[in-house]
């Protein structure tokens, strides 16, 4: 029986430890730090260039314009580029088109190259699972790899800057953009932010296959009231600093090149005009050296917000706040000269914004290598290794929510009925923000199942039932179900039901899908629901009445293969929920790391923080997910019962695979402070690791608890470890687990 140790997610055996020690010693002696970028040289080049620029050229660098959705450029772009009056485009893509426009910029007086950007959120041409799904893998290696593949394909297509990662925490799943982020938890979201920035940029984003990243949307965009996109947010400074800011700080610490200002009004000041966010926090407190781009027309939208009378005032407020580049609206360029003349902005402000943009352009390497290699593009897009990575990411993102034994499908089956429009849909698996993905490349679920079933299993299909289907005639589906040993119903949301401008007032299964499932269940066959969705949905009836429920999210180009891998048992699901799954819409905003209140919810106590008509518990808790294997946790240990405020300890437990199948488990560590200088959550995630164990294998999983894990913001928002008692859980979700406590001494 192999006995290994896992510390913070890294598996150590004696041999491996020796190899690591030798490698570290060798690196220290022979290698310069990887990715060292000549920052001083870049500053010299920036300032030398800046000193030669005219006002029109300076304002041009602060202008980003949009190309066509299909990647075409506009004739105006060529004219502006030749004049040095354009800094960047979004959407323009494809090596040949990019080069055509870049050559126009290189023909300008100062030959400043354009920075080509695009929303490569979860893949360029090879589309990976949506970010919420990737997060559900709880596997930062997978997330990093997905971003790395997206960067490689984007770079081959001439893109040098992506508007990702989206790191907005979301506690209200009515908000459509929950699908684009990492869910409700700050610790998990911060880990994913670091992994994505590292995947896109590496140590040096001028390197081949790498692109500049963008942390968005700064800040608290996910706190939109009512879950309605673009709506106002009103968030206390403590909640901003404890919940919404840390993933952005993590991205910055990972070296993210740029930030994007959010659409929303934050506490009465729209983010795009919010100097506290853009300068006081981002520059002065955090030392950010890159540049901030506004969101799409967000500068001119300051007029709608009611804090700017016209474009000139909007431009003055945004630039003064610290927004350096204007996306699509043109007030910086149209009003800049006047604002300087009227001293509403200063030459120094303008120069600093241009300096930041030039700095990122130099760091991105586009001065030294401005053109795309038109020969490599075709070989890189949809490369077999990329498709394989996308399929693996999808498999690892799936979350098994219920299984009465119906999964994996038995080899004895001779027929299965696949039901639902989503099963043959080629757009829905790609989810929102499809980059340059093409539906025709999607392996849809029906195809995946047919290819895996082969000749031995008859696969029938009925398109009855779907997110937009209102029909109550289920006869076609029932006929298919009656003729099959098992029914696989693919239900959920289509591509347009989550993402930007796609908030829903209800989390109900849309269309006629719940009624369809009830009819199928009544037909008496085991029904397996495969959920394709971008947010949690009301699925209480499914959980209570169906044989199995597998969450597949929007799984990307390789959806069908990945679903077949898991349904037929070629792979075991191991994902965990990145949010608390509400029982009903009425519960939201809803999250596990809530404060206790003075009257904690107690179903038996009328005067407690609860509902009269619904349990306040989740349908499924944050961090929850089943496997085809079975695991036990035992042997909880704390290496100390008391530590000093500057001390640390190790919490550990023994994980054992007690089944006959190899599989993955995600072991999670949570803490709670019972008494502190501010009210603390009832649980806070402070460590996780996904491990694969063979049948019968045991592994002691260790977590270090030190300053980073135990600290929190005191009444002056200083990060400190306070004396007091803490409870620790080691578990496989945010509920239950092995527990113990220790004290931090004065």
Q: Which is nearer to ligand GLC, 296 or 636 (CB)?
A: 296
Instruction: Give the bridge partners for 549, in sequence order.
Output: 402, 529
> What's the DSSP call for residue 595?
B
Q: Which is nearer to ligand GLC, 65 or 428 (CB)?
A: 65
Q: Exactly one of 139, 265, 295, 300 is catalytic; name it.
A: 295
For residues 499 to 538, the per-residue mask of contacts with ligand GLC, x marking binding by CB under 6 A and - elsewhere, is -x--------------------------------------
Residues 6+ apart with CB under 8 A from 304: none
C-alpha closest to that of 180 among 106, 103, 70, 260: 260
Residue with the CB atom nearest ligand GLC in the bound state: 163
Determine whether 444 is an active site residue.
no
Q: Which two tokens stand for residue 210?
A: 């790498």
* Residue 161 in contact with ligand GLC, rule: CB under 6 A: no
Cα–Cα dist 106/426, whole Å: 40
Work out how close the CB of 244 gets to ligand GLC at its nearest, in angstroms, rounded to a whole number: 16
Work out how close the CB of 213 gets to ligand GLC at its nearest, in angstroms, rounded to a whole number: 12
The values of phi and psi at residue 454, to 5°, are 65, -160
Strand 719-720 and strand 712-713: the pairing is antiparallel
Cα–Cα dist 312/334, whole Å: 8
Work out how close the CB of 302 gets to ligand GLC at its nearest, in angstroms, rounded to a whole number: 15
Q: Which is nearer to ligand GLC, 286 or 296 (CB)?
A: 296
C-alpha closest to that of 618 among 183, 166, 133, 131: 183
Instruction: Give the bridge partners for 214, in sequence order.
Output: 258
Work out how close the CB of 163 gets to ligand GLC at its nearest, in angstroms, rounded to a whole number: 3
Q: Which two tokens stand for residue 136?
A: 């559900």
Q: Which is nearer to ligand GLC, 309 or 501 (CB)?
A: 501
Residues 6+ apart with CB under 8 A from 63: 80, 85, 86, 87, 88, 325, 326, 330, 332, 333
Q: Which is nearer to ligand GLC, 295 or 722 (CB)?
A: 295
Q: Which is nearer to ligand GLC, 216 or 317 (CB)?
A: 216
* Residue 93 in contact with ligand GLC, rule: CB under 6 A: no
Q: Which two tokens stand for residue 202?
A: 């590496």
Instruction: Give the bridge partners for 291, in sequence order.
Output: 258
Q: Which is nearer to ligand GLC, 194 or 216 (CB)?
A: 216
Cβ neighbour number for residue 22 with a 10 Å cutoff: 10
Work out how close the CB of 498 gets to ligand GLC at its nearest, in angstroms, rounded to a whole number: 14
Q: Is there a contact between 663 and 629 (Cβ–Cβ < 8 Å)?
A: yes
| Number of residues lying near ligand GLC (CB under 6 A) | 7
**Secondary structure (3-state) at 30:** helix
* Residue 296 in contact with ligand GLC, rule: CB under 6 A: yes
Work out how close the CB of 66 gets to ligand GLC at its nearest, in angstroms, rounded to a whole number: 8
Please give the residues from 202 up to 221 whose contact with ligand GLC meets the rule CB under 6 A.
216
Please give the residues from 461 up to 500 whose contact with ligand GLC meets the rule CB under 6 A.
500
Work out how close the CB of 328 gets to ligand GLC at its nearest, in angstroms, rounded to a whole number: 8
Q: Is 473 exposed, middle or buried (0-12, 13-18, 19+ CB in 10 A)?
A: exposed
Please give the residues from 2 up to 21 whose contact with ligand GLC meets the rule CB under 6 A.
none
DSSP 596-632: --SS---TT-SSSS--SSS-SS-SB-TT--B-SS-EE
Strand 548-551 and strand 642-643: the pairing is unpaired
Q: Which two tokens stand for residue 417?
A: 């009925």
Cα–Cα dist 504/94, whole Å: 35
Q: Which is nearer to ligand GLC, 97 or 216 (CB)?
A: 216
Q: Is there a contact between 686 and 709 (Cβ–Cβ < 8 Å)?
A: yes
Strand 399-403 and strand 415-419: the pairing is unpaired
Work out how close the CB of 145 gets to ligand GLC at its nearest, in angstroms, rounded to a whole number: 22
Work out how close the CB of 61 gets to ligand GLC at its nearest, in angstroms, rounded to a whole number: 19
For residues 381 to 420, the per-residue mask of contacts with ligand GLC, x marking binding by CB under 6 A and - elsewhere, is ----------------------------------------
Cα–Cα dist 430/439, whole Å: 8
Work out how close the CB of 119 gets to ligand GLC at its nearest, in angstroms, rounded to a whole number: 5
Q: Which is nearer to ligand GLC, 500 or 637 (CB)?
A: 500
* Residue 323 in contact with ligand GLC, rule: CB under 6 A: no
Q: Which is nearer to ligand GLC, 504 or 672 (CB)?
A: 504
Distance, C-alpha 729 to centroid of its chain = 26
> What's the DSSP call for residue 455?
G
Cα–Cα dist 548/462, whole Å: 20
Q: Which is nearer to ligand GLC, 140 or 162 (CB)?
A: 162
Work out how close the CB of 356 gets to ligand GLC at its nearest, in angstroms, rounded to a whole number: 19
Instruction: Give the bridge partners for 7, in sequence order.
Output: 10, 702
Work out how close the CB of 298 gets to ligand GLC at its nearest, in angstroms, rounded to a whole number: 8
For residues 574 to 593, the per-residue mask of contacts with ligand GLC, x marking binding by CB under 6 A and - elsewhere, is --------------------
C-alpha closest to that of 435 among 742, 159, 112, 173: 159
Edge-to-edge, what's the strand order for the sheet holding 399-403?
399-403, 548-551, 527-532, 486-492, 415-419, 458-462
Cα–Cα dist 599/587, whole Å: 18
Q: Which is nearer to ligand GLC, 175 or 362 (CB)?
A: 175
Q: Is there a contact between 333 and 60 (Cβ–Cβ < 8 Å)?
A: yes
Q: Longest Cα pair distance anywhere in the chain, in angstroms? A: 81
Q: Which residue has the tokens 């120094």?
A: 348
Please give the residues from 114 up to 133 whose contact with ligand GLC meets the rule CB under 6 A.
119
* Residue 295 in contact with ligand GLC, rule: CB under 6 A: yes
Cα–Cα dist 286/215, whole Å: 14
**Secondary structure (3-state) at 22:** helix
Among 6, 62, 81, 90, indicate the residue that binds ligand GLC (CB under 6 A). 90
Residues involved in catalysis: 295
Q: Which residues bind ligand GLC (CB under 6 A)?
A: 90, 119, 163, 216, 295-296, 500
């Amino acid at each position: 029986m192999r006995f290994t140790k896992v510390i913070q997610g890294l598996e150590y055996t004696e041999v491996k430890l020796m190899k690591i020690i030798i490698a570290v010693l060798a690196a220290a002696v022979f290698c310069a730090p990887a990715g060292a970028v000549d920052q001083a040289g870049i500053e010299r080049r920036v300032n030398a260039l800046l000193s030669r620029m005219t006002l029109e050229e300076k304002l041009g660098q602060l202008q980003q314009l949009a190309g066509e959705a299909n990647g075409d450029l506009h004739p105006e772009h060529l004219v502006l580029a030749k004049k040095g009056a354009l800094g960047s485009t979004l959407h323009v893509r494809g090596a040949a088109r990019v080069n055509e426009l870049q050559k126009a910029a290189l023909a300008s007086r100062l030959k400043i190259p354009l920075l080509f950007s695009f929303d490569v959120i979860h893949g360029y041409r090879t589309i990976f699972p949506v970010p919420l799904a990737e997060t559900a893998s709880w596997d930062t290696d997978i997330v990093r790899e997905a971003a790395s593949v997206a960067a490689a394909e984007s770079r081959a297509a001439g893109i040098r800057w992506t508007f990702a990662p989206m790191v907005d925490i979301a506690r209200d799943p009515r908000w459509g953009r929950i699908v684009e982020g990492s869910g409700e938890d700050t610790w998990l979201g911060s880990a994913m932010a670091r992994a994505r920035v590292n995947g896109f940029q590496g140590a040096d984003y001028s390197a081949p296959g790498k692109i500049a990243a963008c942390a968005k949307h700064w800040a608290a965009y996910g706190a939109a009231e009512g879950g309605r996109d673009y709506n106002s947010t009103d968030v206390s400074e403590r909640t901003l600093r404890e919940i919404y800011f840390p993933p952005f700080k993590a991205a910055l610490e990972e070296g993210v090149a740029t930030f994007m200002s959010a659409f929303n009004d934050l506490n009465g000041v729209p983010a795009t005009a919010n100097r506290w966010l853009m300068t006081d926090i981002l520059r002065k407190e955090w030392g950010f050296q890159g540049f901030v781009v506004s969101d799409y027309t967000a500068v001119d939208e300051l007029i709608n917000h009611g804090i700017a009378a016209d474009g000139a005032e909007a431009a003055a407020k945004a630039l003064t706040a610290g927004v350096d580049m204007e996306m699509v609206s043109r007030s910086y360029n149209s009003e800049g000269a006047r604002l300087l003349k009227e001293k509403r902005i200063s030459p120094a402000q303008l120069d600093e914004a241009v300096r930041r943009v030039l700095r990122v352009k130099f760091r991105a390497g586009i001065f030294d290598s401005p053109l795309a290699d038109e020969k490599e593009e075709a070989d890189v897009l949809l490369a077999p290794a990329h498709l394989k990575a996308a399929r693996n990411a999808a498999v690892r993102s799936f979350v098994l929510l219920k299984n009465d034994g119906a999964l994996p499908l038995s080899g004895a089956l001779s027929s299965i009925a696949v039901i639902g429009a989503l099963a043959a849909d080629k757009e829905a698996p790609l989810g929102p923000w499809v980059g340059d993905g093409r539906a025709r490349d999607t392996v849809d679920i029906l195809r995946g199942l047919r290819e895996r079933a082969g000749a031995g299993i008859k696969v029938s299909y009925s398109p009855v039932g779907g997110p937009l289907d209102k029909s109550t005639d289920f006869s076609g589906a029932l006929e298919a179900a009656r003729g099959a040993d098992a029914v696989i119903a693919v239900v959920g949301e289509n591509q347009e039901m989550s993402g930007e401008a796609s908030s829903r007032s209800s989390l109900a299964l849309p269309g006629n899908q719940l009624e369809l499932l009830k009819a199928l269940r009544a037909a008496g066959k085991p029904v397996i629901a495969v959920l394709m969705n971008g947010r949690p949905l009301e699925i209480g009836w499914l959980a209570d009445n169906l044989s199995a429920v597998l969450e597949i999210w929007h799984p990307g180009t390789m959806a069908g293969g990945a679903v077949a891998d898991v349904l037929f048992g070629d792979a075991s699901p191991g994902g965990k929920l990145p949010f608390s799954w509400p029982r009903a819409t009425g519960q939201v905003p809803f999250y596990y790391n809530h404060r206790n209140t003075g009257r904690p919810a107690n179903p038996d106590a009328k005067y407690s923080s609860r509902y009269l008509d619904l349990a306040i518990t989740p349908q499924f808790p944050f961090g929850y997910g089943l496997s085809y294997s079975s695991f036990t946790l035992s042997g909880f240990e704390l290496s100390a019962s008391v530590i000093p405020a500057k001390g640390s300890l190790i919490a550990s437990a023994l994980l054992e695979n007690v089944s006959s199948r190899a599989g993955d488990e995600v072991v999670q560590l949570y803490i709670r402070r019972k008494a502190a200088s501010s009210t603390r959550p009832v649980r806070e995630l402070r460590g996780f690791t996904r491990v694969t164990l063979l049948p019968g294998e045991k592994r002691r999983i260790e977590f270090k608890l030190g300053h980073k894990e135990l600290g929190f913001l005191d009444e002056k928002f200083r990060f400190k470890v306070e004396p007091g008692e803490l409870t620790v859980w080691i578990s496989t979700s945010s509920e239950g687990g092995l527990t113990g406590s220790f004290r931090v001494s004065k």
